[in-house]
Structure 1
Amino acid sequence: MSTRTTHSSIPEKFKYHTATADKMHLESPPISNGTNTNGTKHQDVKPKAKTISSLSYPSQSLQFLRKVREPCVEAHDEFTPSNPPQAKLKLKIIIVGAGLGGLATSIALARRGHQVTVMEQAHQLGEVGAGIQIPSNSSLLLERWGLSNFLSGKVVEPQGMTFRRWENGNAIGYTKLVPDFRESFGASYYVVHRADFHVALHQRALQLGVDVKVNCKVVDYDLKAPAVTLANADSLSADLVIAADGVKSVARRLVLGGIDHQPVHTGFAAYRATVDVQKMKADPDISWLLEKPSLNIWYPKPASGLRGHKLISGKGLEKTVML
């Protein structure tokens, strides 16, 4: 049975045609030098290129995004990152937690004229982790929030996304990202290191006047005031308190009426690592992955996958992230 994907075998509603071409010419990775079954040495052999359909990942999600984007963009076309609509009632707001969610929320609220303070328990801001993908619906919002300058030089725009078989690396599917996504959805598809993304959000929040306080651990909430109590016994009140305090949230238990829900193991684990690009370039077995900015996803078995993409760290060092 052939493993090639064609339009004829897929219902029309699941198809996604790129703006420039309906077919993509893909090449599988070379087979490395090794030993044949008869004990003789074989040389590198690059499989023949093949043409496969440029199906999306998943197509219905992109079709939905295109539909919902139009009225949203039309409603905000008159506003720029420096000229957002202002709230009629300005509020004093406390956000607990300066992670990605807390900082993003502070930006959205500060842009509308609210007075925002972010409380973070850590002694200094810092994020760990690996790569984050920012699809067009998210990057469109980040551009509207005025983060483009802060993310410049830190994000990478992959040209496409290739789906591969784990056993041999053969390409079995492809989604073209450049220039199709920006043309279709008004914004590009990016990948970025989590730490760089966090720094960009922090810088933009400060630019908007958000007061980010570190070494401020919130130990209790007053749901009626509303107010927060810090570890040093200080109490701070506001018109609105937003809890973005993570998996060990203090607020969650209070909101749920005293029920202390513990994290539940899903049965899945994600292994993440960064690999130095220079070392990959020196390895002929995998150097082909770095020929151009791209996403490569391997599927060893159903419901699991290995994903790789190229990104640039904040220090200007090229790295490759494997998920």
Structure 2
Amino acid sequence: MNNLYTNYFTASDISTLWDTYESDTIIKYGMKHFLQHVEDPDIQNILQETLQLIERNIHHMEELFKKANFHIPKGFTDEDINLNAPRLFSDTLYLEYIFNMTFFMLDTYSLALSVADHKDVNDYYAKNLKAAISLNKQAKELEKEKAIYIRSPRIPHSETITFVEDKNYMTGWLGERRPLLGIEVTNLVFHSKRNALGHAMITGFSQVAQSNEVKKFFQKGRDISGKHLEVFTSILHEDFLSDGALLRTSEVTDSTTAPFSDRLMVTFVANLIASSIGQYSVSMSRSPRHDLSVQYARLMAEVGKYANEGMKILIRHGWLEQPPMAANRNDLVE
């Protein structure tokens, strides 16, 4: 029995490794292109460290796939990058991307660690989680040094213990709204930053996409992320709190030459959407005010519909690699 549990790779092991491999190969080629143009030596160092980390991870995952007797996914390759393409984003946006990328890594690795069955997979994600924590801290401190880090607004420091008595605690549409809770402010700021970054990157992708269909897809995503940023910022303004983030479109160059394939860019946006839906749902569960829950539900529905459009594009063009799946028992008996 012990030998079975030691050597058998389960659905949880294979599927998390497969998802991580796909996303890490996107990061790998993003770092490679960024390093062709970066000028700031501090940002260059963190880009190089990130690339080295991701390449080690990819190699380790390939060894785990071989051990599991499972084919190594194609992921993304040299076919998906044009190293001769001009710069599309500024150094500042490179750093902001790395910082936000660590949020995705922390979410992905912690979830994968919690569901891993095989010891080698468990050890792999435990090691990765430690590395992602270190990279997150390094990127945050570098943003502070470069004066581009936006802090969350201040709230009063309570000196006494109190309990909720006002029945308006959960109201939002009718009656007087209570001020935002600290956790609600935190989530609104977080989503503002994510949408500001998404708006800038999708704006760049819309300039360089080769297919008109993909261009229109990115243009729609640019408008959605811009609208979501306005929603979160306006809620903060109701309590006279500062903006959660600023538009970073000025960090996008005027290049119209694609550094990445349409397949890579659409997949990147699809991953961004999936992460947003998950984060919105968590924020909705932690926001007792009814109006905020309704806003999150509405925004989730909008990005969910947009995600569906992206999946249709990937499937229609033959760009969506088949993820690991259970056996089709009906086919096996025919």
TM-score, normalised to structure 2, is 0.24
TM-score by length of 1: 0.25
- Structure with greater strand share of residues: 1
